[in-house]
Amino acid sequence: MWVSAETIYQSLYVQARGGLKRELTAYLRTGRSVRKPRRREGERRGRIPGMVSISERPPEVEDQAVPGHWEGDLILGSVASASAVGTLVERTTGFVMLLHLPENHGALAVQEALVAKMATLPEQLRLSLTWDQGNEMANHAQIAEATGLEIYFCDPHSPWQRGSNENTNGLLRQYLPKGSDLSFYGPGMLDNIAAELNSRPRKRHSFQTPAEVLDQLLSEAATNHGVA
């Protein structure tokens, strides 16, 4: 039997009538006694027509043996700015790319930004993309057709199914603070932030950087195919 994170949250907050008891609040990093919803009003998740569940994703995606499988999400800015930045993380290497969304983060804006960013990658790195059930991915069929990606959707309230992306978003908050206007960050600034993360040594890669690991994998693939 499994107990979901949502069940635990509800148990804690119901006992305290909607807010955490003072002795529990003292142990929270944020110090908030009242739980904030993860999404703003009007941005609730709903079933997207034609979506393919993560349960149908091939096993090779899970074992991270083959590069080219991505996880994606939005980092939201302040409520007043209604701004956002798209985040993409390659599962095998942890390589990061950021999507510039200057006007809005609706389905068309995300589609255009995703297609443009994926076009900068070689074909062997465009295998799959896993996202949550956000309305910003309503045009997933058009994205798949333009990029060649197989697109899968996580179960509701299951951020651990995009663990690489969730961890990376935590690192990105150092550069893209909560409550700020993310439209301030232009494409050049976002590329610089991604480059800094991609140049950060990682313990899981024996302290090589994501960029170095990705370059090695691409070199090995080229050698195996007889390309100099």
- In order of 4, 13, 144, 216, the CA distances from 7 in angstroms are 5, 10, 35, 43
Q: pLDDT band at residue 157, thresholds of 50, 70 and 90?
A: confident
pLDDT at 171 over 50: yes
Q: In whole angstroms, what is the distance from residue 109 CA to residue 103 CA?
A: 8
- Summarize the confidence of residues 173-196 as an average pLDDT: 96
Question: What pTM did the predictor assign?
Answer: 0.77
The sheet carrying 128-131 orders its strands as 96-100, 84-90, 69-76, 128-131, 150-153
Residue 58: strand pairing partners: none
Quick one: how far is CA 168 from the chain centroid? 8
Judge contact between 147 and 125, C-beta under 8 A: no
Any idea what DSSP says for residue 123? G
Q: Which pLDDT score, from 0 to 100, does residue 40 have?
A: 45
Hey, what domains does the chain have and what are their CATH numbers? 1-37 (no CATH), 54-224 (3.30.420.10)
Q: Tens digits of per-residue pLDDT, 3-61?
A: 766 677 666 665 555 456 666 666 665 555 555 544 444 444 457 999 999 999 998 89
The pair of three-digit structure tokens given for residue 151, joined into one six-digit string: 């697109």
Give the type of residue at 212. Answer: E
Average pLDDT, the chain: 86
How confident is the model at residue 39, as a pLDDT? 45
Query: pLDDT tens, 87-144?
Result: 999 999 999 999 999 989 999 999 999 999 999 999 999 999 999 999 999 999 999 9
Task: Note the pLDDT of residue 228.
Answer: 44
**Residue 159 buriedness (CB in 10 A; 0-12 / 13-18 / 19+):** middle
Residue-level pLDDT at 178? 93
| Predicted pLDDT at 29 | 57
- The answer to whether 191 touches 100, Cβ cutoff 8 Å, is no
